[in-house]
Amino acid sequence: MGQQLTADVLVIGFGKGGKVTAAKPGELGKSVVLVEQSERMYGGTCPNVGCVPTKALVHHSRNRQATDPAQEFYEQSVGRVQALTSLFRAGNHDSLNGADTITVITGRASFVDEHSVGIGEGEDRLTVTAETILVNAGSEPVVPDIPGLRGNPRLLTSTQLIERTQLPERFAIIGGGYLGIEFAAIYNRFGSHVTVFEAAPEILGREDDDVAAAAREILLEEGIELVTGAHVTEVRDSTVTYEQGGAAHTVEADAILAAAGRRPATASLDLAAAGIETDARGAIVVDEFLRTSRPHIFALGDVNGGPQFTYVSLDDSRIVLDQLIGEGKRSTTDRVAVPHTLFMTPPLATVGLTENEARTQGRAIKIASRPVAEIVAMPRAYVVEETRGLMKFVIDAETDEILGAALLSVDAQELINSVALAMRHGIRAAELRDAIYTHPSSTEAFNDVLGTIVR
C-alpha cells in the first residue's frame, strides 16, 4: 500500500518561489513537505541550469585571452561553474531540510486528488496529503518539430550544453531570442564558430529598430553569424539545412542548440486528477492571487505561464505568502516596471515601453538617446574598455514621466534597476538627470543622456 504522510503545506518543485514560500510557514511551526524530482535541481532552474551557470559562463568567457587554448580554457571554466552550482545546490537543500518542520523528498510527484500527490511506485510509493499545495514545477526546453532534429546526437538543450566539457568547434543555434543570443555570445567568446538561425526578419524584433540594430552590430563585430529570415527544414547528421529568401542552404555543426523557448513542465503532474485547469500551452491557469481552479492550490513561477524569470518567481512567493499568512491583498496587478536583461557583451537591459509601443498607443513622447561612445559623463566605459552600445529613454512629453528605457552598455543589468525603481515611484526624467551619482560610475551617464532630447 505504500506510506502515507500528512503536512500543512505541500510544495512541488524546489524553485525560487517554492523554496521561499516553504520556508516561512516552516518558521511559523507549520509542517511542510517539499518534493523535488531530481537531486540535481535543489534550488530550481536558476542556480543549477539557468541564471547562475550561464552568467558564470559569461564571466569566464569574457576572461579568455586569444592565447588561451579554447578547449582547455572551456573545460576548466565548466569545472569551475559546476563547482559553483554544486555549492549552491547543497546550500539550498540544507537551508530547508535542516529545519525541524520541513521535509525535503526527492522524487517525481503526480496528483492523486486535489489534496494528495503520489511519489514513487509499488511498496516504495509515498502519498503526501496537505491542506495547501503549491505547484512550482518550473519549465522545460522546447525542441522544434524539425525533421531529423529529435534524436540527433548533436542536439543539446541548454541544460545539457552547460554540463558538457567538450567545446563545439562549429555551433548552430536554432532561435535568435534571448536564450539563443546569450549562448551565442558565450560560446563565440570561448572560441566556437557560432551560427544563429532566426525565422523573423531581424533579431530582437520586440525592441526598437535602433536598439536592435546596435545589438546586431555588436554581435556581428564579435564574429557571430546571424542568419535571419531563415527556416531550418532538416537536420541530418551534422548538416543543418535551412531556407532563406526562397533558396536552400546548408551549414555543418558539431553541436546544435534548440533555443526555441521553454514551456511549463506540467505534463507529468496529472493535474486533471486534482481538477486543475491548464491553458493550450500546458500552463496552469491562475488568478491575480496565483490561485488555481482549486482555491487551496497555488501555482508559482514558470509553471503558471507568466514571465520566466527567477525574480518574478520570487515575487510570486510574496503574493502567495500574503494569501497564506498576510492580509491577502498583494497580487500580480501590483507589478510595475519589471526589467529584463539579455546578457550579451555588453548586456542589453530594458524596462517599460519601447518607442514604437508608446507611439502605437498614441502617447506624446520625447526620446533621449546617445551612443555610449559619445557619453562624455561616463568615463567608466573607457576605463573598462567597453564603449559599445547606446542608452535610450522614452519619456512622456507632457508629464516628464519615464515610460521605458533600453540600456545597451557596460553595467546595464545594474543600471536598469535604478530606472525601474524610478518608474515605480514616479521619479521624473529631470530628477534622474539632475541626481548626484558617484564618479566614475556608469550611473552618471544618466546626467548626460537625459540632458539631450533628440526628438
Q: Where are the alpha helices (DSSP H) in 45-172?
A: 45-49, 51-63, 70-97, 158-163
From the candidates 231, 249, 296, 439, give the one annotated as an active-site residue.
439
**Rounded Cα distance, 259 and 141, in Å:** 8
Does 25 or 249 have the greater pLDDT score?
249
Domain for residue 145, yes or no? no
Written as nine digits, the cell of 219 is: 554581435
Whether 327 maps to a domain, the answer reads yes
Following DSSP, what letter does each residue of 206-231 receive, concatenated? Answer: TS-HHHHHHHHHHHHHHT-EEEESEE
Round the average pLDDT of the chain to a whole number and report it: 90
pLDDT digits (tens, 9 = 90+) for 241-299: 999 999 999 999 999 999 988 899 999 999 999 999 999 999 999 999 999 999 999 99
Q: What is the CATH number of the domain that holds 382?
A: 3.30.390.30
Rounded to an integer, the average pLDDT of 330-346 is 94
The band of 455, judged by pLDDT with boundaries at 50, 70 and 90, is: very low
> Do both 329 and 345 map to the same domain?
no
Residue 336 has pLDDT above 80, yes or no: yes
Q: What is the pLDDT of residue 210?
A: 96
Could you tell me if residue 116 is inside a domain? yes
Check whether residue 92 and residue 35 sit in a common domain: yes
175-211 pLDDT, tens digit each: 998 889 999 999 999 999 999 999 999 999 999 999 9
Do 197 and 221 share a domain, yes or no?
yes
Sign of dihedral through CA atoms 187, 192, 197, 203?
Answer: positive
Instruction: State which amino acid sits at residue 420.
Output: A
Amino acid at 66: A
Alpha helices per DSSP H over 273-335: 310-325
Please give the average per-residue pLDDT across 229-243, as a whole number.
96
Domain carrying residue 397: 340-449
pLDDT of residue 42: 57
Q: Based on the structure, what is the number of domains in the chain?
A: 3
When pLDDT is cut at 50, 70 and 90, the band that residue 98 belongs to is: low
CA distance 368 to 453: 5
291 contacts: CB under 8 Å, gap ≥ 6: 297, 298, 323
Q: Which of 196, 226, 260 is the last residue of a domain?
A: 260
424 and 297 inside one domain: no
Within a domain: residue 70?
yes
pLDDT at 29 over 60: yes
- Say what the pLDDT of residue 100 is: 77
Q: What is the pLDDT of residue 89?
A: 60
- Domain identity same for 274 and 131: yes
Examine residue 81 and state whether it is found in any structural domain, yes or no. Answer: yes
What's 8's domain CATH number?
3.50.50.60
Same domain, 73 and 112: yes
What pLDDT, in 10s, does the model give residues 41-60?
A: 555 555 554 566 777 787 78
How confident is residue 92, by pLDDT bands cut at 50, 70 and 90?
Answer: low
> How confident is the model at residue 41, as a pLDDT?
52
- If asked whether residues 19 and 135 sit together in one domain, one would say yes
Q: Check whether residue 40 and residue 121 sit in a common domain.
A: yes
Q: How confident is the model at residue 355 (pLDDT cuts 50, 70, 90)?
A: very high
Q: Which of 303, 334, 365 is the last residue of a domain?
A: 334
The answer as to whether 454 is a domain residue is no
- pLDDT score for 331: 95
Residues 133 and 34 occupy one common structural domain: yes
Shared-domain flag, residues 8 and 125: yes
| 147 located within any domain | no
Do 372 and 431 lie in one domain? The reply is yes
Considering the domain architecture, whether residues 81 and 189 belong to the same structural domain is answered as: no
Active site residue 439: yes
382 DSSP assignment: H
End-to-end CA distance of the chain: 72
Quote the percentage of the chain above a pLDDT of 90.
Answer: 69
Angle between helices 51-63 and 70-97 (to 10 degrees): 150
Structure confidence at residue 97 (pLDDT): 60
The predicted model gives 150-166 an average pLDDT of 87
Other Cβ atoms closer than 10 A to 104? 23
* SS percent in the chain: helix, strand, coil, step 5: 35, 25, 40
Q: Is the pLDDT of residue 95 over 60?
A: no
Of 260, 289, 305, which residue sits at a domain end? Answer: 260
In a domain, 455, yes or no: no
Q: How many residues does the chain have?
A: 455
